[in-house]
């Protein structure tokens, strides 16, 4: 089984991760409502575009870094939110990022962290669920 995250903001995260040397490509996808135990048990994470429906990265989920959002790490989460919006044509105000992250923290969302990311070139199947969805299979 693989855990899939699709977002139109993912291009900036992909560029940031792939700019690092192989073996150091660690990062976070974002803040999602999901079962922490279910996410932590997954071996493969795929990140891709929402409208293009093609996946850009595949990586191992990092169970040590995957966690329920912690109010003490607010600045770290805001920095990630700003990174995701770094390719926007219009600048993303830090106040908007902070408000969005604060809402995510209050809702108890999950930070999904990954490591050892690489380009993903294989075929995939959508199961029609929402933007965070699961796929049965080997999880290559």
Residue 137 within any structural domain of the chain:
no
Residue 130 within any structural domain of the chain:
no
The encoded tokens of residue 83 equal 């990174």
pLDDT in tens, 108-125: 999 999 988 887 666 655
Residue 55, beta-bridge partner list: 48
Residue 127 within any structural domain of the chain:
no
Element containing residue 17 per DSSP (H, E): helix 10-18
What is the structure's pLDDT at 43?
Answer: 77
* Overall domain count for the chain: 1
The encoded tokens of residue 61 equal 């989920």
**Cα–Cα distance for residue pair 16/98, rounded to 1 Å:** 21
pLDDT in tens, 9-47: 888 888 899 899 988 999 888 888 888 888 888 877 777
Residue 138 within any structural domain of the chain:
no
The values of phi and psi at residue 71, to 5°, are: -55, -30
Residue 40 within any structural domain of the chain:
yes
pTM: 0.79
pLDDT in tens, 64-103: 999 999 999 999 999 999 999 998 889 999 999 999 999 9
Domain extent for 46: 2-121
């Amino acid at each position: 089984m693989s855990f899939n995250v699709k977002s139109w903001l993912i291009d900036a995260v992909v560029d940031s991760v792939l700019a690092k040397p192989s073996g150091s490509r660690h990062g976070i996808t974002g803040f999602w409502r999901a079962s922490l135990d279910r996410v932590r048990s997954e071996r493969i994470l795929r990140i891709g575009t929402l409208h293009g429906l093609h996946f850009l990265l595949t990586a191992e989920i990092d169970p040590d870094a995957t966690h329920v959002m912690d109010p003490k790490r607010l600045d770290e989460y805001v920095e990630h939110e700003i990174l995701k919006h770094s390719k926007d044509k219009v600048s993303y105000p830090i106040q908007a990022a902070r408000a969005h992250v604060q809402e995510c923290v209050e809702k108890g969302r999950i930070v999904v962290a990954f490591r050892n990311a690489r380009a993903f070139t294989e075929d995939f199947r959508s199961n029609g669920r929402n933007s965070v969805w699961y796929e049965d299979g080997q999880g290559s």
